[in-house]
Structure 1
Amino acid sequence: MRTLLTGGTVVSMDPAVGDLDRGDVLITDGVITAVAERIDAPDAEVIDATDRIVLPGFVDTHRHAWQTAFRGIGADWTFAEYLVAVHGTLKPHYRPEDVYLGNLLGRLEALNSGITTMVDWFHAARSPEHVDAALAGLLDAPGRSVFCYCAGFSADAPVEERELDRVRAQIPGGLVTMALGWRGPQLTTMDIAAEDLKLAVELGLRTSVHIGSGGARGSRPVAALRDRGLLRQDTTFVHANGVEDDELRMLAEAGATVSISPDVELKMGFGFPETGRMLAAGLRPTFSIDDCPSAGGDMFATLRTAYAVQRGLDGSLNSRDLLEFATVDGARACGLSARTGSLSPGLEADIVLLRADDLSVFPFNNPAGTIVAAGHPGLVDTVLVAGRVVKRDGVLVGVDVQTLKSSLLESRNRIAAAAGIPLDGSWRPPTESD
């Protein structure tokens, strides 16, 4: 089982391998075994990468895929409106089959745009059946996924160990792993947050927690967690807008990771993405899409927003930094750096081939700069996950896209009708400030 990608421009994201103007990548049983200018492998299946950029797949460290059916309707919403609309108005009408379709189509969309690893931060656990359906959607997609299970917005009880064990027992290993969507001090009491984290540690689960959604300046949530001994290196802190400089240093000292959602944070009023402040504190940012009702679902747009904002603020960062955040740093935040994140021999072959001959990027000078400044999903020609080709010649392999799209439309229409909301963007959810 050998595959040879030949003749592409290789952007490895591994300093030991470097970049190659013309290079080959050899894959054996799903693992990268060699990267060089030329590789002789007469027994390998050959994928011609001429006029292609070969790079590691992107890593999305935080997305709520169950909301996929309502793409775009929240483009003009504030965070308060989003909470009312999605969690208060739409979610009560979701059936397990709706969750399944959202997760499956959301994961396929991410894969189609070159995101080979995705953290699905699932917070629509209205019943065990809803949880099972969300996990099934990920298992039925050929991508590398982290099912980040959150018990919901209830603040009156800790997570039940038997429920986590029940969910984890359904994961056979391989491409899908599990984490705990830690409610933390924004969604529950500090005592319950401590109990939840203790259980995650006992079960060996990584955690991801929202901090600073809508701004946190003055509340010092990280310091409160530090004082309770609740900062750990296997926790990813999502957003962290408004968190004080010394608190960011606390996260760095604990070895924690961070996830930035630049489009959502800017549009919903969280504040500027904290990319530069995190770097100054010793943290390596990673990127996330967050939610597709409000933002686009591809990493290219996310990179461009984060890059333009930080350059506008202080002129720092370069395009290579952004690619590192979206690949090697993202893999580290998922606890998967031993498996993915770069084109390094010994890692599993999560690889994307981008068209370098498309008129929107031709001539493809400065690969890293062009990917960040001008990349888009239409360039994604071929995608491999653990050496398996899941997209070839611009088309997902073995996926009945039309049938799935029809099913998702039926799901969307039923939920919208039950909730009594239009889909054209004209509805503004009522909030306390109205």
Structure 2
Amino acid sequence: MKTLLSGGTVVSMDPAIGDFERGDVLIENGKITHVAEQIDAPDAEVIDASDRIVMPGFVDNHRHGWQTAFRGAGSDWTFPEWAVAMHGTVKPHYQPEDVYLGTLLGRLEALHSGVTTMLDWYHVAGGPEHEDAAIAALRDIPARSLFCLGASWGSADCVDDAIRRVHADLAHDQLVSLVWGLRGPEDTGMDAFAGELKLAAELGLRTSLHTGSDGTQRPIADLHEHGLLRDTTTFVHGNGISDEELRMLADAGSSLSISPDVELKMGFGNPLTGRALAAGLRPTLSVDDVPSVGGDMFSTMRTAFAVQRGLDGALNSRDLLAFTTVDAAASCGLDARTGSLTPGKDADIILLRTDDITVFPVTDPAATIVSAGHPGLVDTVLVAGRVVKRDGTLLDVDLPTLKTRLIASRDRIAAAAGVPLDGTWRPQPAQ
């Protein structure tokens, strides 16, 4: 089966391919086979890409989809308030169906806004039935997903058992793969942390870990001292760690996921974007959680860009696109499969409208995407060559039914937790 994306403005994110003011992309059996100014493929299905930017789909390597039902509830929350609200108040009332619905809508939202690959950082802490519900939701979406099983429940042995069980289930899945969401050594002890890293390596799993410092701790230096930095680990946030520690991450080949909107709003400190680059580390960007912020990569890029330019004038638009495509794909171990319009890679591609009045006329495509892009521009989405969104509409999705079920889920959880849904809920952290 052949598909030709014809006549678009191609932003390939591959320096060897370059960009084309007017170009074609040929897809065969789900993979990109040719990118050029003009391709002759008379036997291909043609998708007219005129008045469209053709680029690789976004990669979000850190998002907690299970929280989607409480979108917007935490806009004014600090981090301690968020922790009390989501983990201490509503999470204990989540049933498997609630996990399924939140994860499903969260993944659909991401796909709708052009995120073809997403790491779903699961830490709803319910047990096997809850894990299976989250996996089922990701499998029900025709998108590339990584299920990051967060070790936030049970003993270390239970975590190992859960990882082994889910690994066996997902071993041969074509679109959904497993990542281990590690607890930090401050929670497990250094020996247990080393054991989890060892098992992850045995199973061939990448790992993800939330980290940061108030300036007195040195979490990355501690791991470095114990020989526990890996090129398969993505460290999330990292606010407060030193430049020396950033260089340690760069030397180890580790990845860094920055969530600029959450970090600024919740009081983590300035995102590490510029400092990471100065240390030789390619940063990546992620949404984190939608109770507090928007769920699209356009706004995430714009925040990261504006903050860093305000701090030191560094970065350009192309940097931001790389952080959310090729660099993020590498952080997920998927850079051989996705992240750029490179022949041989899977056809994870998005088409963005250039005739929309909010961006017209498009003089510089990369600059326009970063400075003015928004989900309303996402006209067409392909995952592994399959069209999953066309003419601005997700295909084969019963959104009215899903919305009804999700509202019922949210209202049941809120009632069980005793929290209002009228905008007055302000969680009270322990003093």
The two structures have a TM-score, normalised by structure 1, of: 0.97
**RMSD of Structure 2 on Structure 1 (CA):** 1.1
Paired letter, 1:185: P
Paired letter, 1:135: I
Q: CA deviation at 1:189?
A: 2.2
Q: Of 221, 224, 227, which aligns to 2:222?
A: 224
User: Hey, what's the Cα distance between the residues in 2 that align with 1:179 and 1:147?
Assistant: 6
SS in 2 for 1:169: helix
User: Hey, what's the Cα distance between the residues in 1 that align with 2:378 and 2:260?
Assistant: 22
Partner of 1:146: 146
- Runs of 4 or more, structure 1, over 6 Å off, are none
- Per-residue CA deviation, residues 109-144 of structure 1 (Å, 9 max, x unaligned), is 000000000000100131110011011110111110
User: Hey, what's the Cα distance between the residues in 2 that align with 1:101 and 1:12?
Assistant: 34
Deviates more, 1:403-412 or 1:416-425: 416-425
Partner of 2:164: 165
Q: CA deviation at 1:169?
A: 2.3
Q: Contact (CA 8 Å) 1:158, 1:195: kept in 2 or not?
A: no
Deviates more, 1:415-424 or 1:365-374: 415-424
User: Hey, what's the Cα distance between the residues in 2 that align with 1:342 and 1:406?
Assistant: 37
Paired letter, 1:60: D
Does 1:85 find its partner at 2:90?
Answer: no
Partner of 1:404: 402
User: Hey, what's the Cα distance between the residues in 1 that align with 2:188 and 2:266?
Assistant: 22
Q: Contact (CA 8 Å) 2:126, 2:153: kept in 1 or not?
A: no
- Per-residue CA deviation, residues 259-278 of structure 1 (Å, 9 max, x unaligned), is 00000000000000000000
Partner of 2:181: 181
**Structure 1 residues 392 and 186, CA, compared in 2 at 3 Å: closer, same or farther?**
farther
Partner of 1:64: 64
Partner of 1:378: 376
Q: CA deviation at 1:153?
A: 5.4
Q: Contact (CA 8 Å) 2:180, 2:200: kept in 1 or not?
A: yes
Q: Of 328, 331, 334, which aligns to 1:333?
A: 331
Does 1:244 find its partner at 2:242?
Answer: yes
Deviates more, 1:185-194 or 1:88-97: 185-194
How many residues were matched structurally?
Answer: 430
User: Hey, what's the Cα distance between the residues in 2 that align with 1:184 and 1:199?
Assistant: 15
| Aligned-pair identity (%) | 68
Paired letter, 2:25: V
Paired letter, 1:113: S
The two structures have a TM-score, normalised by structure 2, of: 0.98
Partner of 1:15: 15
SS in 2 for 1:429: coil
Q: CA deviation at 1:151?
A: 2.2
Structural mapping, 1:411-422, within 5 Å: 411-422=409-420
SS in 2 for 1:218: coil
User: Hey, what's the Cα distance between the residues in 1 that align with 2:143 and 2:58?
Assistant: 11
Partner of 2:342: 344
User: Hey, what's the Cα distance between the residues in 2 that align with 1:125 and 1:135?
Assistant: 14
User: Hey, what's the Cα distance between the residues in 2 that align with 1:431 and 1:218?
Assistant: 22
SS in 2 for 1:246: helix
SS in 1 for 2:59: strand
SS in 2 for 1:170: helix
Deviates more, 1:253-262 or 1:415-424: 415-424
Q: CA deviation at 1:54?
A: 0.4
User: Hey, what's the Cα distance between the residues in 2 that align with 1:216 and 1:201?
Assistant: 30
SS in 2 for 1:126: coil
Structural mapping, 1:1-400, within 5 Å: 1-152=1-152, 157-158=156-157, 160-171=159-170, 172-212=172-212, 215-400=213-398
Paired letter, 1:293: P
In structure 2, list runs of 5 or more residues that go unmatched. none
Paired letter, 2:386: R
**Structure 1 residues 159 and 193, CA, compared in 2 at 3 Å: closer, same or farther?**
farther
Q: CA deviation at 1:201?
A: 1.2
